[in-house]
Amino acid sequence: MAHVSDTFLASQRRSDEIRADLAVHPEKYIMLTGDRPTGRLHLGHYFGTIAQRVALQNAGITTRIVIADYQVITDRDTTEHIADNVYSMVLDYLACGIDPERTIIFTHSAVPALNQLMLPFLSLVSESELHRNPTVKSEQEASGHTLTGLLLTYPVHQACDILFCKGNIVPVGKDQLPHIEQTRQIARRFNDRYAPVFPEPAGLLTDAVEIPGLDGRKMSKSYGNAIALSATEEETAKLIKKSRTDSERKITFDPDNRPGVSALLTTAALCTGRTEEDIAEEIGESGSGALKAYVTESVNAYLAPIREKRAQLEANAGYILEVLHEGNRRANEIAEVTLQEVREAMGMVY
Ligand code: TRP
């Protein structure tokens, strides 16, 4: 256990140092981040990671975003709707302010040279290391699916995603640190065994608040408690209206005892920049109906410019595909160069 917490403290320290250095030397950093295209992006994604990505991109950090389509089949048997989900993910990114001129957006499956890193990388990890990863275990349990070879080896293909473009920072929550540790280990082992090709990437620990879903649980499409960025104002109002609160009239912020009311307060707080307590006090004895009306108004006002931009982009379907094709082209270029370096390091150039 001492080992685990030492690793955590070291990660925390690295993350703090990098955060301080980002503003001074943005040119030193390549950020790789990504999402599985399993559905529409929602407010939880937005406040949890997307807003931060946009800020880092705008601060001049080189940014690459993988739409991890192969990861969808780590724990499910179908790719139904995947193309739609990929397409709407690109739309959501652009609507939120990801700039395709600066940021490469690509799909995992479209970059063969990235995937080919998997074979040498697999030789650098042991079976017991794979089985020890706590996230793999919990994801498998949550999905109720059998542990596929793809899920078991998923930290290794995330290492490929990060290292193909020499990514040196990856924004992560604490629970994702074991993946970063695995990536660092793969990079170190490759460099030691063959030649120094890869950086050892650091996790950039997010300081973002986790936005709860409308019922106080984690916001997730599968819980039906998520407000999609692409939802209409009416859909948003309906979802908030049917969220579960309690019968106490006086509104107070108390996440442990009043998860529904408190989740609504946090949602409004994030969208308005006010504090939960301040909003609770203002609503006072007016009850959850008034609270819901306020939350609906704040969310819709906050999302209005994003939704407007999304609608404009959606009217131009060809453009979204162009962005993706160009992203895939650029990612392939980078991956080919890296794979060539790997071949040279391994003495496999014929
Ligand atoms: N696993 C991430 C998710 O579930 C997506 C992802 C794929 C990723 N490859 C990555 C994230 C590499 C960070 C780094 O959303």
What CATH number does the domain containing 309 carry?
1.10.240.10
pLDDT, position 56: 96
| 288 and 243 within one domain | yes
Is position 338 within any domain? yes
User: Could you tell me the residue range of the domain that residue 88 belongs to?
Assistant: 2-208+317-346
Q: Are residues 149 and 293 in the same domain?
A: no
Residues 327 and 310 in one domain: no
- Which of 102, 95, 108 shows the shortest CA–CA distance to 45? 95
Residue nearest to atom 14 of ligand 1 (CA): 33
At 3 the pLDDT is 60
Whether 203 and 309 map to the same domain: the answer is no
324 with 308, same domain? no
> Tokens 């652009």 identify what position?
94
Question: Whole-angstrom Cα distance, residue 193 to residue 54?
Answer: 37
Residues 260 and 188 in one domain: no
Point out the ligand 1 atom lying closest to the alpha carbon of residue 32: 14
- Domain tally, the chain: 2
Q: Is the CB of 69 under 6 A from ligand 1?
A: no
Residue closest to 156 by CA, chosen among 125, 134, 131, 135: 125
Do both 194 and 340 map to the same domain?
A: yes
Are 164 and 65 in the same domain?
yes
pLDDT for res 4: 59
* Residue 114 beta carbon below 6 angstroms from any ligand 1 atom: no
pLDDT at 1: 46
Pick the atom of ligand 1 nearest to 157's CA: 9
Structural domain includes residue 94: yes
Has residue 213 been placed in a domain?
A: no
Is residue 293 assigned to a domain? Answer: yes
Give yes or no: residues 67 and 89 share one domain.
Answer: yes
Residue nearest to atom 8 of ligand 1 (CA): 34
How deeply is 348 buried, as exposed, middle or buried, from its count of CB atoms within 10 A (0-12, 13-18, 19+)?
exposed
What is the predicted pLDDT for the residue at 5? 74
Distance 74 CA to ligand 1 centre (A): 12
| Whether residue 66 has its Cβ less than 6 Å from ligand 1 | yes
Say how far apart CA 65 and CA 97 lie, in whole Å. 13
Same domain (yes/no): 338, 301: no
Q: Is residue 214, in this structure, part of any structural domain at all?
A: no
User: Which residue, judged by its Cα, is nearest atom 3 of ligand 1?
Assistant: 35
68 CB under 6 A from ligand 1?
Answer: yes
CA 310 to centroid of ligand 1, rounded, Å: 23
Minimum-distance ligand 1 atom for the alpha carbon of 35: 15
Are 152 and 16 contained in the same domain?
A: yes
pLDDT at 281: 97
Can you give the pLDDT at residue 82?
97
The answer, yes or no, to whether any atom of ligand 1 lies below 6 A from the CB of 203, is no
Asked whether residue 216 is assigned to any structural domain, the reply reads no
Whole-angstrom Cα Rg for the chain: 22
Q: Does 202 share its domain with 305?
A: no
Identify whether 336 is part of a domain: yes
- Which pair of tokens denotes residue 166? 């020499």
- Which CATH number does the domain housing residue 119 bear? 3.40.50.620
Task: Tell me which residues of the chain have a pLDDT lower than 70.
Answer: 1-4, 209
Residue 215 maps to a domain: no
243 lines ligand 1 (CB under 6 A): no
Nearest CA to ligand 1 atom 12: 158
State which of 42, 49, 66 you would mutate to test the pocket of ligand 1, scoring each by most atoms of that ligand within 8 A of its C-beta. 66
What pTM value is reported for the model?
0.94
